[in-house]
Amino acid sequence: MNRDSIEKLKIDRRLIHRRGWISNSELQKQLEALPDVSDKIAPPEDSEDEAEAPSGAEAPPRAE
């Protein structure tokens, strides 16, 4: 593997618990460098609105 490939794998969540793979200080530095994407969180849905909203799954009219 080349150096770039190994660097990309350094913070892979499947490998961070591997003994000797990454130090805690290096992991913290990498985690702090991640972008803040908290603005992408969807607002919580109200359970009352769901109960009052129509399901939209009406039965099709029967052909007679």
| AA identity, residue 10 | K
Length of the chain: 64
Query: Encoding tokens for residue 50?
Result: 């769901």
Any domain includes 45: no
Any domain includes 56: no
* Per-residue pLDDT, 31: 86
Q: 42: left (phi > 0), else alpha (psi -120 to 50), else beta? A: beta
Query: Per residue in 4-59, pLDDT tens?
Result: 777 777 777 777 788 888 888 988 998 898 899 989 998 888 766 555 555 556 66
Any domain includes 14: yes
Structural domain tally of the chain? 1
pLDDT surpasses 70 at 64? no
Any domain includes 4: yes
Report which secondary-structure segment, H or E, holds 9. Answer: helix 3-9
Any domain includes 49: no
Q: Is the pTM of this model over 0.75?
A: no
Q: What are phi and psi of 60, to 5 degrees?
A: -70, 150
Any domain includes 10: yes
The domain of 19 spans: 1-33
